[in-house]
Amino acid sequence: MLALQKVRPAEGLELREVEYPQSESEGEVIIKVHATGICGTDIHIAEWTPGYESMESVMPVTIGHEFSGTVESVGAGVSPAFIGSRVTVRPSTTCGRCPACLAGDEDNCTGRKGIGIGRNGAFTQYVCAPFGNCHVLPGSLDMDIAALTEPMTVCAEAVATANVKEGQTILVIGPGFIGQGIAVLARARGAKVLVLGRDDGSRLGILAKLGFELLVDTAEQVFDDALNLHGPFDAIIEAAGAPNLVDATLPFLKKRGIFTVVGIHPRPAEIDLTRLVRMHQQIRGSYRAAPAVWDETIAFLDANQALMRQLISHRYRLENAMAGFEASRSRIASKVLIELS
Protein backbone atom coordinates (compact mmCIF):
# COMPACT_ATOMS: atom_id res chain seq x y z
CA MET A 1 0.00 0.00 0.00
CA LEU A 2 1.08 3.60 -0.58
CA ALA A 3 2.37 5.63 2.39
CA LEU A 4 3.80 9.11 2.91
CA GLN A 5 7.01 8.65 4.86
CA LYS A 6 9.93 10.44 6.45
CA VAL A 7 12.90 8.42 5.27
CA ARG A 8 15.94 10.50 6.27
CA PRO A 9 16.88 13.29 8.73
CA ALA A 10 16.68 16.05 6.15
CA GLU A 11 14.09 18.13 4.38
CA GLY A 12 11.50 16.19 2.39
CA LEU A 13 8.97 13.35 2.42
CA GLU A 14 8.52 10.38 0.10
CA LEU A 15 5.54 8.41 -1.18
CA ARG A 16 6.57 4.77 -0.91
CA GLU A 17 5.03 1.32 -1.19
CA VAL A 18 4.90 -0.36 2.25
CA GLU A 19 3.63 -3.61 3.70
CA TYR A 20 0.20 -3.99 5.29
CA PRO A 21 0.63 -3.45 9.08
CA GLN A 22 0.72 -6.35 11.49
CA SER A 23 -0.96 -6.05 14.89
CA GLU A 24 1.81 -7.83 16.79
CA SER A 25 1.17 -6.43 20.25
CA GLU A 26 -1.64 -7.37 22.56
CA GLY A 27 -4.35 -4.75 22.78
CA GLU A 28 -3.76 -3.21 19.34
CA VAL A 29 -6.06 -2.87 16.35
CA ILE A 30 -5.67 -2.25 12.64
CA ILE A 31 -7.71 0.68 11.34
CA LYS A 32 -8.72 1.36 7.75
CA VAL A 33 -8.09 5.08 7.43
CA HIS A 34 -10.85 7.30 6.07
CA ALA A 35 -9.15 10.72 6.15
CA THR A 36 -6.04 12.27 7.69
CA GLY A 37 -5.45 15.97 8.31
CA ILE A 38 -2.20 17.76 7.60
CA CYS A 39 -0.95 19.33 10.83
CA GLY A 40 1.66 21.97 11.56
CA THR A 41 3.72 19.16 13.10
CA ASP A 42 3.70 17.35 9.76
CA ILE A 43 4.99 20.53 8.11
CA HIS A 44 7.80 20.78 10.66
CA ILE A 45 8.70 17.12 10.03
CA ALA A 46 8.68 17.67 6.27
CA GLU A 47 10.91 20.72 6.59
CA TRP A 48 13.01 18.98 9.28
CA THR A 49 12.97 21.84 11.74
CA PRO A 50 14.67 21.23 15.13
CA GLY A 51 12.81 19.14 17.71
CA TYR A 52 12.13 15.90 15.83
CA GLU A 53 15.55 14.27 16.02
CA SER A 54 14.08 11.29 17.91
CA MET A 55 12.44 10.19 14.65
CA GLU A 56 15.80 9.20 13.19
CA SER A 57 15.80 5.88 15.05
CA VAL A 58 12.49 4.77 13.50
CA MET A 59 12.96 5.97 9.92
CA PRO A 60 11.50 5.21 7.48
CA VAL A 61 8.28 6.06 9.30
CA THR A 62 4.82 6.91 7.97
CA ILE A 63 3.66 10.29 9.26
CA GLY A 64 0.12 11.56 10.01
CA HIS A 65 -1.73 11.64 13.32
CA GLU A 66 -5.07 13.48 12.80
CA PHE A 67 -7.36 10.81 11.42
CA SER A 68 -10.60 8.87 11.45
CA GLY A 69 -11.22 5.33 10.28
CA THR A 70 -12.85 1.95 10.83
CA VAL A 71 -11.49 -0.93 12.92
CA GLU A 72 -10.53 -3.64 10.43
CA SER A 73 -9.09 -6.27 12.76
CA VAL A 74 -8.13 -6.67 16.42
CA GLY A 75 -5.23 -8.18 18.30
CA ALA A 76 -5.25 -10.35 21.40
CA GLY A 77 -7.12 -8.83 24.31
CA VAL A 78 -9.54 -6.78 22.17
CA SER A 79 -13.08 -8.01 21.66
CA PRO A 80 -13.92 -8.89 18.04
CA ALA A 81 -17.16 -6.98 18.65
CA PHE A 82 -15.23 -3.77 17.96
CA ILE A 83 -14.47 -4.78 14.37
CA GLY A 84 -16.34 -2.30 12.18
CA SER A 85 -16.34 0.44 14.82
CA ARG A 86 -15.83 3.96 13.49
CA VAL A 87 -13.04 5.60 15.52
CA THR A 88 -10.61 8.42 15.93
CA VAL A 89 -7.37 7.90 17.84
CA ARG A 90 -5.31 9.73 20.45
CA PRO A 91 -1.87 9.69 18.78
CA SER A 92 0.26 9.82 21.94
CA THR A 93 0.82 6.21 23.01
CA THR A 94 2.19 5.28 26.44
CA CYS A 95 4.77 2.59 27.13
CA GLY A 96 3.12 0.80 30.07
CA ARG A 97 6.56 0.04 31.55
CA CYS A 98 8.03 3.24 32.99
CA PRO A 99 7.61 4.10 36.72
CA ALA A 100 4.81 6.58 35.95
CA CYS A 101 2.82 4.05 33.91
CA LEU A 102 3.31 1.33 36.53
CA ALA A 103 2.02 3.77 39.16
CA GLY A 104 -1.11 4.47 37.08
CA ASP A 105 0.10 7.96 36.14
CA GLU A 106 0.10 7.52 32.37
CA ASP A 107 -0.06 11.27 31.75
CA ASN A 108 3.55 11.47 32.90
CA CYS A 109 4.76 8.47 30.88
CA THR A 110 8.43 8.90 29.99
CA GLY A 111 8.30 6.43 27.09
CA ARG A 112 5.61 7.98 24.92
CA LYS A 113 5.63 7.40 21.20
CA GLY A 114 3.54 9.48 18.86
CA ILE A 115 1.63 7.85 16.03
CA GLY A 116 3.07 9.47 12.94
CA ILE A 117 6.29 10.41 14.76
CA GLY A 118 7.71 7.52 16.81
CA ARG A 119 5.64 4.83 15.11
CA ASN A 120 3.85 4.52 11.78
CA GLY A 121 1.00 6.96 11.23
CA ALA A 122 -2.05 7.50 9.09
CA PHE A 123 -0.98 8.92 5.74
CA THR A 124 -1.66 5.46 4.35
CA GLN A 125 -4.58 3.07 3.93
CA TYR A 126 -4.16 1.10 7.17
CA VAL A 127 -2.63 2.03 10.52
CA CYS A 128 -2.00 0.05 13.69
CA ALA A 129 -2.87 1.67 17.04
CA PRO A 130 -3.53 0.69 20.67
CA PHE A 131 -7.23 0.03 21.16
CA GLY A 132 -7.02 1.97 24.43
CA ASN A 133 -6.27 5.10 22.39
CA CYS A 134 -9.37 4.70 20.21
CA HIS A 135 -12.54 6.72 20.70
CA VAL A 136 -15.65 5.22 19.14
CA LEU A 137 -17.58 7.81 17.14
CA PRO A 138 -21.33 8.43 17.21
CA GLY A 139 -23.06 7.16 14.08
CA SER A 140 -24.27 10.66 13.26
CA LEU A 141 -20.76 12.16 13.01
CA ASP A 142 -19.38 12.53 9.48
CA MET A 143 -15.99 10.84 9.18
CA ASP A 144 -14.37 13.92 7.59
CA ILE A 145 -15.44 16.01 10.59
CA ALA A 146 -14.23 13.26 12.93
CA ALA A 147 -10.73 13.63 11.44
CA LEU A 148 -10.67 17.10 13.03
CA THR A 149 -10.89 15.66 16.55
CA GLU A 150 -7.19 15.68 17.44
CA PRO A 151 -6.49 19.32 16.50
CA MET A 152 -9.76 20.40 18.10
CA THR A 153 -8.70 18.75 21.36
CA VAL A 154 -5.58 20.92 21.20
CA CYS A 155 -7.88 23.93 20.84
CA ALA A 156 -10.09 22.77 23.71
CA GLU A 157 -7.07 22.29 25.98
CA ALA A 158 -5.84 25.80 25.13
CA VAL A 159 -9.21 27.38 25.92
CA ALA A 160 -9.34 25.49 29.23
CA THR A 161 -5.73 26.41 30.08
CA ALA A 162 -6.54 30.07 29.44
CA ASN A 163 -9.54 29.72 31.77
CA VAL A 164 -11.83 31.38 29.22
CA LYS A 165 -15.17 32.43 30.72
CA GLU A 166 -18.42 33.93 29.56
CA GLY A 167 -18.25 37.69 29.13
CA GLN A 168 -14.49 37.87 28.74
CA THR A 169 -12.67 39.45 25.80
CA ILE A 170 -10.07 37.12 24.30
CA LEU A 171 -7.28 37.76 21.81
CA VAL A 172 -6.31 34.83 19.57
CA ILE A 173 -3.01 35.25 17.72
CA GLY A 174 -2.91 33.34 14.43
CA PRO A 175 -5.88 32.38 12.22
CA GLY A 176 -4.62 28.95 11.15
CA PHE A 177 -6.76 25.95 12.01
CA ILE A 178 -5.71 25.91 15.67
CA GLY A 179 -6.44 29.62 16.05
CA GLN A 180 -9.75 29.18 14.25
CA GLY A 181 -10.71 26.25 16.48
CA ILE A 182 -9.75 28.19 19.60
CA ALA A 183 -11.91 31.11 18.44
CA VAL A 184 -14.87 28.79 17.84
CA LEU A 185 -14.59 27.15 21.26
CA ALA A 186 -13.97 30.42 23.13
CA ARG A 187 -17.06 31.91 21.51
CA ALA A 188 -19.02 28.82 22.51
CA ARG A 189 -18.08 29.61 26.12
CA GLY A 190 -19.59 33.05 25.74
CA ALA A 191 -16.41 35.07 25.22
CA LYS A 192 -15.94 37.94 22.77
CA VAL A 193 -13.07 36.98 20.48
CA LEU A 194 -10.62 39.03 18.42
CA VAL A 195 -8.43 37.08 15.99
CA LEU A 196 -5.13 38.57 14.81
CA GLY A 197 -3.29 37.62 11.61
CA ARG A 198 -0.99 39.06 8.98
CA ASP A 199 -1.53 38.71 5.21
CA ASP A 200 -4.30 36.33 6.24
CA GLY A 201 -7.28 37.56 4.25
CA SER A 202 -8.40 34.07 3.21
CA ARG A 203 -8.33 32.44 6.65
CA LEU A 204 -9.78 35.51 8.36
CA GLY A 205 -12.44 35.48 5.67
CA ILE A 206 -13.47 31.98 6.72
CA LEU A 207 -13.92 33.22 10.27
CA ALA A 208 -15.99 36.13 8.96
CA LYS A 209 -18.30 33.62 7.28
CA LEU A 210 -18.66 31.90 10.65
CA GLY A 211 -19.91 35.16 12.17
CA PHE A 212 -16.73 36.53 13.74
CA GLU A 213 -16.54 40.32 13.50
CA LEU A 214 -13.35 41.28 15.38
CA LEU A 215 -10.77 40.23 12.80
CA VAL A 216 -7.49 42.12 12.40
CA ASP A 217 -5.01 41.72 9.55
CA THR A 218 -1.92 43.71 10.56
CA ALA A 219 -0.92 44.02 6.91
CA GLU A 220 -3.90 46.35 6.57
CA GLN A 221 -4.42 47.74 10.09
CA VAL A 222 -1.98 49.29 12.55
CA PHE A 223 -1.20 46.66 15.18
CA ASP A 224 -1.27 48.91 18.26
CA ASP A 225 -4.34 50.85 17.13
CA ALA A 226 -6.40 47.70 16.64
CA LEU A 227 -5.45 46.16 19.99
CA ASN A 228 -5.88 49.44 21.88
CA LEU A 229 -9.35 49.75 20.39
CA HIS A 230 -10.54 46.33 21.54
CA GLY A 231 -8.27 45.56 24.53
CA PRO A 232 -7.16 45.06 27.17
CA PHE A 233 -7.87 41.35 27.04
CA ASP A 234 -8.76 38.93 29.82
CA ALA A 235 -6.70 36.25 28.07
CA ILE A 236 -4.40 36.02 25.08
CA ILE A 237 -3.90 32.69 23.30
CA GLU A 238 -0.88 32.50 20.98
CA ALA A 239 -1.32 30.00 18.14
CA ALA A 240 1.02 31.45 15.53
CA GLY A 241 4.44 30.26 16.69
CA ALA A 242 5.78 33.81 16.28
CA PRO A 243 8.16 34.64 19.18
CA ASN A 244 8.11 38.40 18.55
CA LEU A 245 4.34 38.53 19.10
CA VAL A 246 4.62 37.31 22.69
CA ASP A 247 6.21 40.44 24.13
CA ALA A 248 4.44 42.66 21.58
CA THR A 249 0.97 41.59 22.78
CA LEU A 250 1.61 41.21 26.53
CA PRO A 251 1.03 44.97 27.12
CA PHE A 252 -2.56 44.41 25.97
CA LEU A 253 -3.23 41.74 28.60
CA LYS A 254 -5.24 42.77 31.66
CA LYS A 255 -3.84 42.71 35.15
CA ARG A 256 -3.89 39.11 36.40
CA GLY A 257 -4.59 37.98 32.84
CA ILE A 258 -3.43 34.68 31.38
CA PHE A 259 -1.19 34.40 28.31
CA THR A 260 -1.39 30.87 26.88
CA VAL A 261 1.14 29.59 24.35
CA VAL A 262 0.01 26.88 21.94
CA GLY A 263 2.23 27.60 18.93
CA ILE A 264 5.50 25.76 18.38
CA HIS A 265 8.24 28.39 18.22
CA PRO A 266 11.40 28.20 16.09
CA ARG A 267 13.42 30.19 18.65
CA PRO A 268 13.06 31.57 22.21
CA ALA A 269 10.85 34.57 22.89
CA GLU A 270 12.08 37.58 24.87
CA ILE A 271 9.63 39.07 27.38
CA ASP A 272 9.61 41.88 29.95
CA LEU A 273 9.47 39.88 33.18
CA THR A 274 9.33 42.98 35.37
CA ARG A 275 6.12 44.11 33.72
CA LEU A 276 4.75 40.56 33.99
CA VAL A 277 5.45 40.49 37.74
CA ARG A 278 3.96 43.91 38.43
CA MET A 279 0.82 43.04 36.46
CA HIS A 280 0.39 39.70 38.27
CA GLN A 281 0.13 38.01 34.88
CA GLN A 282 0.68 34.34 34.05
CA ILE A 283 2.21 32.61 31.04
CA ARG A 284 1.02 29.06 30.52
CA GLY A 285 1.85 26.37 27.98
CA SER A 286 -0.84 24.16 26.49
CA TYR A 287 -0.31 20.95 24.55
CA ARG A 288 -1.91 17.49 24.80
CA ALA A 289 -5.49 16.94 25.99
CA ALA A 290 -6.71 14.25 28.38
CA PRO A 291 -9.00 11.41 27.17
CA ALA A 292 -12.08 13.04 28.69
CA VAL A 293 -11.47 16.14 26.55
CA TRP A 294 -11.53 13.92 23.48
CA ASP A 295 -15.02 12.69 24.34
CA GLU A 296 -16.21 16.26 24.94
CA THR A 297 -14.67 17.38 21.64
CA ILE A 298 -16.30 14.55 19.69
CA ALA A 299 -19.66 15.61 21.15
CA PHE A 300 -19.01 19.24 20.13
CA LEU A 301 -18.07 18.21 16.59
CA ASP A 302 -21.17 16.06 16.32
CA ALA A 303 -23.38 18.96 17.41
CA ASN A 304 -21.67 21.54 15.16
CA GLN A 305 -20.93 19.70 11.93
CA ALA A 306 -22.15 22.37 9.51
CA LEU A 307 -19.94 24.97 11.19
CA MET A 308 -16.87 22.75 11.40
CA ARG A 309 -17.14 21.59 7.79
CA GLN A 310 -16.42 25.16 6.69
CA LEU A 311 -12.94 24.91 8.24
CA ILE A 312 -11.98 22.10 5.84
CA SER A 313 -10.62 24.18 2.97
CA HIS A 314 -8.81 21.61 0.80
CA ARG A 315 -9.04 17.88 0.04
CA TYR A 316 -6.50 15.69 -1.78
CA ARG A 317 -5.97 12.01 -2.49
CA LEU A 318 -2.84 10.43 -1.03
CA GLU A 319 -1.04 10.33 -4.37
CA ASN A 320 -1.34 14.14 -4.46
CA ALA A 321 -0.38 14.62 -0.81
CA MET A 322 2.55 16.91 -1.56
CA ALA A 323 0.17 19.38 -3.21
CA GLY A 324 -1.76 19.28 0.04
CA PHE A 325 1.42 20.12 1.95
CA GLU A 326 2.04 23.09 -0.31
CA ALA A 327 -1.51 24.30 0.36
CA SER A 328 -0.97 23.86 4.11
CA ARG A 329 2.17 25.99 3.98
CA SER A 330 0.22 28.80 2.34
CA ARG A 331 -1.88 31.39 4.12
CA ILE A 332 -4.87 30.26 2.11
CA ALA A 333 -5.60 26.85 3.62
CA SER A 334 -7.32 26.25 6.94
CA LYS A 335 -7.45 22.45 7.26
CA VAL A 336 -6.23 20.19 4.46
CA LEU A 337 -7.55 16.61 4.49
CA ILE A 338 -5.93 13.68 2.70
CA GLU A 339 -8.76 11.34 1.73
CA LEU A 340 -7.95 7.63 1.80
CA SER A 341 -11.35 5.93 1.43
Residues 158 and 174 in one domain: yes
pLDDT digits (tens, 9 = 90+) for 253-304: 999 999 999 998 888 999 999 999 999 999 999 999 999 999 999 999 999 9
What is the number of structural domains in the chain? Answer: 2
Residues 127 and 79 in one domain: yes
Residues 225 and 169 in one domain: yes
pLDDT digits (tens, 9 = 90+) for 72-117: 999 999 999 999 999 999 999 988 889 988 888 888 888 889 999 9
Q: What was the pLDDT predicted at 332?
A: 87
| pLDDT level of residue 24 (50, 70, 90 thresholds) | low
Mean pLDDT value of segment 27-45: 95
CATH number of the domain that 81 lies in? 3.90.180.10
Residues 249 and 334 in one domain: no
Question: Is residue 179 pLDDT above 90, yes or no?
Answer: yes
Residues 122 and 24 in one domain: yes
Asked whether residue 293 is domain-assigned, the answer is: no
Q: Residue 42 is part of which domain span?
A: 2-148+311-339
| pLDDT level of residue 339 (50, 70, 90 thresholds) | very high
Mean pLDDT value of segment 205-209: 96
pLDDT digits (tens, 9 = 90+) for 3-16: 999 999 999 999 99
DSSP secondary structure string for all residues of 43-77: HHHHHT-TT-GGGGGG-SEE---EEEEEEEEE-TT
Residues 124 and 226 in one domain: no
Asked whether residue 327 is domain-assigned, the answer is: yes
Residues 162 and 276 in one domain: yes
Residues 7 and 107 in one domain: yes
Write down the mean pLDDT value for the chain. Answer: 95
pTM metric for this prediction: 0.94
Q: What percent of the chain has pLDDT over 90?
A: 86
Mean pLDDT value of segment 186-193: 98
CATH number of the domain that 251 lies in? 3.40.50.720
Q: What was the pLDDT predicted at 279?
A: 97
pLDDT digits (tens, 9 = 90+) for 114-153: 999 999 999 999 999 999 999 999 999 999 999 999 999 9
Residues 181 and 98 in one domain: no
Mean pLDDT value of segment 56-68: 97
- Count how many Cα atoms sit within 13 Å of the Cα of residue 143 in the half-sphere of its side chain: 16
Range 164-184 burial, b when 16+ CB lie within 10 A, else e: beeebbbbbbbbbbbbbbbbb
Asked whether residue 303 is domain-assigned, the answer is: no
Residues 260 and 328 in one domain: no
Contacts 24+ apart (CB under 8 A), 42-46: 42/116, 42/325, 42/328, 43/325, 43/328, 43/329, 44/264, 45/6, 45/13, 45/117, 46/6, 46/11, 46/12, 46/13, 46/325
Residues 218 and 91 in one domain: no
